[in-house]
Structure 1
Amino acid sequence: CVELEDVSILRNLGLLRSDLNVGLERNDLETYGSVVDRGINLAPESFGTKAVLLQRCREFASKAGFSIRVATNSFRKMKKEGNARYECKVLNGQQQLTPGTTPSCPFFITVYGIRDEWKVTKMCIAHDHYRHVGFQGDSFVEGDLATSGLRQHNRDMSFATIRGIVEREMLPAYSDDWASVKGKAILEFLLSKNIESNRQTASRIKRQLTDVLQGNMEESYQKLESYLSVVATENPGSHYGFEKHSNGVFKRASCLKALQTCRRIIGLDGTHLKKEMNKRGVFLLATAKDLNGHLIVFGLGLVDQEDGLNWRCTCKKPSVDLVESPGNLHFYRTDRRMARSECEKDYDFYSSKLADTRPQAAEYLRKIMKEHWVTYAFSETYEQPTYDEVTSNLSESANQWLGNACRSAYPMNAFEQYFVKVVELFASRRKETTRLIKNVGELQHSNTDGACAKDGETDASSSISYDQLAPFHKDNLKKMLAVSKSLKILPCLSGQYMVRFTDVSQRLDHVHLWRTVNLVEKECTCRRWQDTKFSCIHALKAAVYHGMHITELFDWDNHTSVTYRSTYFHQFVP
């Protein structure tokens, strides 16, 4: 049958001239529903490309309630001419006008083009089936009804329309993390709208919307230098470096916000970029920890590859800035350089254990000089503390904090996201430290409970307020005081004690049955006192017995919440 409304739609879409009529004589099946004009264009005007003409035909099919497919398609490149034939697509659930007949819809549109001028040469708009099927949504009914295994989705929609739906309805929910959205998620979203697509279309949509959010990649490189300059100018104490080749091509960039109250150790690590940026370089991260054990990625560099030259360039300015600061001595540590063995026997013991289960790993570690990664050997060689840090606690944690969205963004957007993360981090920590100080108030060391110490001990710990310490150190100190009750102490020399565990089950990790403490030199054979710049459990027990105030075991003021707050006192503007 032919519906007269279809003729009006064709004329409105510019596919049929007003002077042409559709054959409506039912007795002549060859001409019924057909339109032809001896090869002359049936449309009022020619079309610039075949894609435009195909899209116009699809619009007609969508408004008329059916779908079309490309039945034939050819193009002769030498002559710059081609033709195509579009036919009606058989859809799931489609019913014939005559029940029981085989689907054989007579509808077609033939087009021809030469030298970028495409025209409609012939068409038949008759159908042998009911229309307006194939776009079925969920039924609004109550009860548990079985869902059909053959879903009906709209497969005849232009890319621009599909992209518009994703941009309007899906993108706002993922604008901050669009880079992490996978093509599968886009396809599932489209299916929820009863639109069926493919992986290529989803990938194209994501790539185009990424450009909408981030802008052009080349422009991002060009704007990066001026952006870093503005950020450094607006935030005194920040520094940046930017290098270009002689032809002006971007080489590397880095940025630093010096933090003067962090632990005196810096973790350096490289992290690969993601998505389209994967083969365009790596990020070099400079990481530290504040007094409460929180991670701070204070330096970010974008380089073509991770090598010694780029590391020296990235670290050159931070090194000068930190060393010139009074009282500061930061030591750079790279990944795979830390392990917690406190003596040679510790190392041999753990090495033998590893060799039993992972012989190849043990053999690999034997080839690495111990002073490069074992705590006791490192301390003896470089005379620097490690603050009990290992790769998984410092360098590798920075990658997770940076996130895939930042690692897959274009250069300028990546640095902007990094700066925003810094702002959010500082604001959150500033609020946290302000609340801590408010709770502490101006408490003095007034927690004396009058309890008598046993075995000649003077309970010096009762005269201080642990609440003044940063939460990390407060919890650590309270834990050690609780465990220290199972320790026995023996005086050796003046200011020197031997500390033993009486309850082996209460031993902390990496602590042997005995250790020697020298309160005068502030040393313990467990090395944790020297390595963490904070009291170890043996020194704490010896200090309580000796009558030494616990605040004398370490730099008390440098571990308080007030100092912790000063780390985040200065604001940062991205």
Structure 2
Amino acid sequence: MLPLYEGKTEKITGAAISDFFVSKGFTVGASAISRIKRVLDEANSIERRVSYHKLESYLKLMAEKKPGSVWKFEKEGDGTFKRACFIPNIGIRVARMARRLFGVDGAHVKGEMNNYGVVLVATAKDYNNHILPFAFSLVPTENNENCCWFLRLVHDALGDLECFTVLSDRQKGLLAAVAEVFPLAGHRFCLRHIKENINRKGISLTAKERGLINDMARSDCENDYDVFEKELARTKPAAVEYLKDIDKRHWVKYKYQ
């Protein structure tokens, strides 16, 4: 095993390869190390591509073992992987029995797979406030086309469920997809994401200021909202300006429709 490898190809550096050969009593030149690194990278790339081909048969097998599951696997014109989705039968039953509140989120695949797509997940919330992931998809990017593709599969799995609330971040592709696939659903923005985005703007929030934003979101009337907004404006006016750009219908209680 190469030193510093730890099962991740990005850690197979030229220095690690050199140290490996030195530990075995060999001296290898820079050009040879470069060729070895190239061969290792190519071998691992082939292994990753092969794993995507195996994914289709794996999803098919799971669907056969779990009747009622929804799955889809798509390839590009040249046969390479495009996108995949799996919604297990138990996930469908859980979602249909849960509260009418579903979350949708996406995350880039990390590590060696970092350049190979985004995982989209739909979650339900039961009556004990447990978050229950029930639908999973791997797509190239989190754009409108892929979000619509995923949500249509979720729509088909849920059947006649139409009136519920979707909770998500403010990713543009997802915003349009929810409105297109679930026109009768309410759409709320995740408050945690809103506060994280404020921090990413360089506006550092204290615990008290984060609490004020929570209070603004839970306001039962405009007067309550204005009171909390004015208090936040005294210490973080930039945060108030940021929040003004977000449609209240999607994150403030008294504006919900």
TM-score range, shorter chain: 0.5 to 0.7
Residues 83-162 of structure 1 mapped to structure 2, 5 A cutoff: none
CA distance in 2, matches of 1:314, 1:268: 10
CA deviations on 1:514-566 (whole Å, 9 max, x unpaired) are xxxxxxxxxxxxxxxxxxxxxxxxxxxxxxxxxxxxxxxxxxxxxxxxxxxxx
Q: 1:237 maps to what in 2?
A: 68
* Other-structure match for 1:225: 56
Which residue of 223, 238, 245 maps to 1:360? 238
Task: Verify the 8 A CA contact 2:219 2:254 in the aligned structure 1.
Answer: yes
**Where do residues 463-482 of structure 1 align in structure 2 (5 Å cutoff)?**
none
Distance of aligned partners of 1:323 and 1:355 in 2 relative to their CA distance in 1, 3 Å threshold = farther
Give the aligned partner of residue 211 of structure 2.
none
Amino acid at match of 1:273: V
Q: Which amino acid in 1 is paired with 2:73?
A: F
| Residues 462-503 of structure 1, C-alpha deviations (whole Å, 9 max, x = no match) | xxxxxxxxxxxxxxxxxxxxxxxxxxxxxxxxxxxxxxxxxx
Q: TM-score w.r.t. structure 1 length?
A: 0.30
Identify if the C-alpha distance between structure 1 residues 353 and 308 changes in structure 2 by more than 3 Å, giving closer, same or farther.
Answer: farther
Task: Specify which of 151, 165, 177 is matched with residue 315 of structure 1.
Answer: 151
Tell me whether 1:299 sits opposite 2:135 in the alignment: yes
Deviation, structure 1 residue 306: 0.8
1:335 to 169, 184, 208: 169
**1:335 deviation in Å?**
1.9
SS in 1 for 2:79: coil
Q: Classify the secondary structure of the residue corresponding to 1:216.
A: helix
Q: TM-score, normalised by structure 2?
A: 0.62
Aligned counterparts of 2:97 and 2:80: Cα–Cα separation in 1: 37
| Preserved CA contact (<8 Å) 2:105 2:121 | yes
Q: Which secondary structure does the structure 2 equivalent of 1:342 belong to?
A: coil
Percent of residue pairs identical = 37
Counterpart of 1:346 in structure 2 is 224
CA contact (8 A) 1:268 1:334 kept: yes
Deviations 1:143-198 (A, max 9, x none): xxxxxxxxxxxxxxxxxxx53xx6xxx99xx7xxx5599679xx8xx99xx99xxx
Q: Give per-residue Cα distances to partners, 1:260-306, cap 9 Å, x unaligned.
A: 32222111111112223222221111122233222222111111111
Partner of 1:248 in structure 2? Answer: 79
Q: Which of residues 97, 104, 115 is equivalent to 1:261?
A: 97
Distance 2:240 2:228 in 1: 10
Distance 2:8 2:124 in 1: 27
Separation of aligned partners in 2, 1:349 and 1:323: 43
Aligned to 1:16: none
Three-state SS of the structure 1 residue aligned to 2:97 is: coil
Task: State the Cα distance separating 1:358 from its structure 2 match.
Answer: 2.6
CA contact (8 A) 2:233 2:240 kept: yes
Give me the whole-angstrom Cα distance separating, in 1, the residues matched to 2:9 and 2:243.
36
CA 1:374–1:182: 2 relative to 1, 3 Å = farther
Aligned partners of 1:224 and 1:366: how far apart in 2?
Answer: 45
> How many equivalent pairs are there?
195
Q: Contact 2:109/2:116 (CA < 8 Å) preserved in 1?
A: yes
Quickly say closer, same or farther: Cα 1:353–1:217, change in 2 above 3 A: same
Equivalent AA in structure 1 for residue 229 of structure 2: S
> What is the CA distance between 1:329 and its match in structure 2?
4.7
CA contact (8 A) 1:267 1:335 kept: no
For residues 263 and 216 of structure 1, what CA distance do their matches in structure 2 show? 42
The aligned residue for residue 207 of structure 2 is: none
CA distance in 2, matches of 1:345, 1:252: 47
Distance 1:239 1:179, change over 3 A: farther
Going from structure 1 to structure 2, the CA distance change for 1:360 and 1:250 (only over 3 Å counts) comes to same
CA displacement 1:71-110 (0-9 Å, x = unmatched): xxxxxxxxxxxxxxxxxxxxxxxxxxxxxxxxxxxxxxxx
Q: Which residue of 1 aligns with 2:111?
A: 275
Matched, 1:287 2:116: no
Q: 1:318 to 1:220 in 2, by over 3 A?
A: same
Residue 140 of structure 2 aligns to which amino acid in structure 1?
Answer: D
Correspondence 1:485-564 to 2 at 5 A? none
Q: Is the CA contact (8 Å cut-off) linking 1:322 and 1:330 kept in structure 2?
A: no
Q: Work out the CA distance in 2 between the residues paired with 1:295 and 1:229.
A: 26
| 2:249 matched residue in structure 1 | 371
Letter in 1 for 2:50: E
AA in 2 matched with 1:362: V
Instruction: Report the AA paired with residue 224 of structure 2.
Output: D
Aligned CA distance change for structure 1 residues 324 and 364 (closer, same or farther; 3 Å): same
C-alpha contact 2:8 2:112 (8 A) present in aligned 1: no
Q: Could you list the per-position Cα deviations for residues 403-433 of structure 1 after superposition, in whole angstroms to 9, with x for gaps in the alignment?
A: xxxxxxxxxxxxxxxxxxxxxxxxxxxxxxx
One-letter identity of the residue aligned with 1:222: H
Q: CA 1:237 to 1:364, structure 2 compared with 1: closer, same or farther past 3 Å?
A: same
CA distance in 1, matches of 2:245, 2:85: 33
The answer (yes or no) to whether the contact 2:102–2:124 under 8 Å persists in 1 is yes
Amino acid at match of 1:282: V
Gaps of 5+ in 1: 1-161, 382-574
Question: Is the CA contact 1:264–1:330 (under 8 Å) kept in the aligned structure 2?
Answer: yes
- State the secondary structure of the residue aligned to 1:220: helix
